[in-house]
Structure 1
Amino acid sequence: MVELEHTRELMKSMGLTTAAELLDARLEDASHRELTYLDFLGELLDTEHQERRRRSEETRIKLSRLPNRKTLEEFDFSFQPSIDPRKIKELSTLAFAARNENVVFLGPPGVGKTHLAVGLAMQALRNGMTVYFVTLPQFIADLRKASIQGRLERRWRVYLRPDILIVDEVGYMQLDRESAELLFRLICSRYETGSIILTSNKRFSEWGELMSDTVIATATLDRLLHHAHVINIRGETYRLKDRLKIGVQMVPPADIPALEKPAKE
């Protein structure tokens, strides 16, 4: 018993907390199964390794700031026939991230752009990579606040450090000169050094207007798209697909009677 407690304390001091907690149960199991010393040790260390991976993944998910934990397996490709599932499957190998390439999802609101971006992020997190999620309005507000507080350069590291940076909702707000320059700097800073997954409801031809400067927009797109996979999504809103399938109308029926015009005096 003294030897057992000594072994348990050694495991804890070495950071093998899961193995220490399971030592008694695994010893009893090994005795019943007549495992060799090597098999017993291998199974115990494998359990410790799996638990460390689980905790690491959970920590990275929390730090990623993802809005949800939707996976690619949950995406209904039959509802969005404009998307080639083979292309998404290819992206899910994460070879694009290994090559520091970008992924751009284009399409109107609600067609599944963010779901696919998050799904790729979850795949990356499962594989030990780091991810950070931010909407464009959040990114601009964050850096403007950091600039006022005199910590802009330090705050930039948050957006340059992860293996994959997701920039969501590009196109929902008109950018002034300062905001456009922040987005341009972000794209330049991660160019060929880290992957970006970007979602936008704007065609590339509209980015000049979006960024209030055609020159900055052109330079931004030049770097963003140099090594990029562009997925253009067309179709009905993905968020309301279940309601549409059961025939729930999204607009008032056409036979609503018009309001009577007031009688002329």
Structure 2
Amino acid sequence: MIQQTNYQQLVKSLDYLKLKQMVAHLDEVVDFSINNQMSFIDTLIKLTSYEIDLREQNMIQAMVKVGAFPNLKEIKDFEFEFQPSINPQQIHDFITLRFIEHSENIVFLGPSGVGKTHLASSIGIAAAKKRTSTYFIKCHDLIQNLKRARLENRLESRLKHYTKYKLLIIDEIGYLPIDQEDAKIFFQLIDMRYEKRSTIFTTNVNFKSWDEVFQEPKLANAILDRILHHATVVTIVGNSYRLKNHLTSEDE
């Protein structure tokens, strides 16, 4: 009767501490401990591991959610055989996040539909799963957010917000032109992250034409200088994934 009371008190205490996984696995661990003559410390380690594993899993899910990725496609979902211009070993090296440790950038350059966003997102998801603060945003949306912040006199705090992420993914640079005033804001962000944080860029515009995107050659050069100084450029030459099925049916 005393043993049962102690057991009930333990369950009550674990419930009070909101250690639900420990409650759920308590009987299982106690039985395993008795049958295998485990020490008190080993039993506690085994019991608490259930709680830790769940919290780690929840934390990873939260980090991925905060990342605001357009989809949850990972590197295992990428069809490298369809894009032979891409070196799979290089992409898998990016997944190790070595480039983040050295505050380096990655630029995916290529026409629309070749997998730039998929690759950038995959690296970002891998970073988020390793609890590295990551955020994905399209260039146009980023510019609009910074522009709005400037009009509301909170540009500095918004720039700091985007600078805090260890990995920022800026998608689709060059799809829409950026006027000179907005380009200055964009430069401020790039400059604040320069040699301090890693950024992944995707673009369909050759670097020589960036002065047309930012509509100011000197500003474009200053932006490119900071982006490319510590960067790996992955140039993708191939067909569009979006046209893949159409091309296949035509070949048949």
TM-score by length of structure 1 reads 0.87
Aligned to 1:191: 194
> What runs of 5+ residues in structure 2 fail to find an aligned partner?
none
Letter of the aligned partner of 1:78 in structure 2?
E
- The structure whose Rg is larger is 1
Query: Could you say which structure has the higher helix fraction?
Result: 2
Shift of 1:185: 1.0
| Conserved? CA contact 2:63–2:129, under 8 Å | no
Structure 2: how far apart are the matches of 1:75 and 1:138?
26
Q: Among residues 6, 14, 19, which one is paired with 1:3 in the alignment?
A: 6
Q: 2:57 aligns with which of 54, 59, 62?
A: 54
Aligned-CA RMSD value: 1.9
Shift in CA distance, 32/88, structure 1 to aligned 2, threshold 3 Å = same
Matched residue of 1:239: which SS?
Answer: helix
The unaligned stretches of length 5 or more in structure 1 are: 250-265
Q: Distance in 2 between matches of 1:183 and 1:41?
A: 52
For residues 181-215 of structure 1, the C-alpha deviation after alignment (integer angstroms, 9 at most, x for no partner) is 12211110100111000000000000011100000
Give TM-score scaled by structure 2 length.
0.91
Change (3 A) 1:65 1:43: same
Deviates more, 1:34-43 or 1:83-92: 34-43
**1:119 is matched with which residue?**
122
| Contact 1:106-1:199 within 8 A present in 2 as well | yes
SS at 1:66 equivalent: coil
Cα gap change, 1:22 to 1:110, in 2 (>3 Å): same
Q: Distance in 1 between matches of 2:175 and 2:42?
A: 57
Q: Is the CA contact 1:111–1:237 (under 8 Å) kept in the aligned structure 2?
A: yes
- Alignment CA distance shift 1:5-1:181 (3 Å): farther
Matches within 5 A, 1:101-250: 101-245=104-248, 247-248=249-250
Local SS of the residue matching 2:200: strand
Structure 2 contact 75–119 (Cα < 8 Å) conserved? yes
How many residue pairs align between the two structures? 248
Moved more, 41-50 or 92-101: 41-50
Could you tell me how far apart the structure 2 residues matched to 1:104 and 1:166 are?
Answer: 10
Question: Please, which moves more after superposition, 118-127 or 203-212?
Answer: 118-127
Alpha-carbon offset, residue 216 of structure 1? 0.3
Q: Distance in 1 between the 2:186 and 2:155 partners?
A: 14
Q: Contact 1:143 / 1:152 at 8 angstroms: preserved in 2?
A: yes
How has the CA–CA distance of structure 1 residues 32 and 76 changed in structure 2, closer, same or farther, with 3 Å as cutoff? same
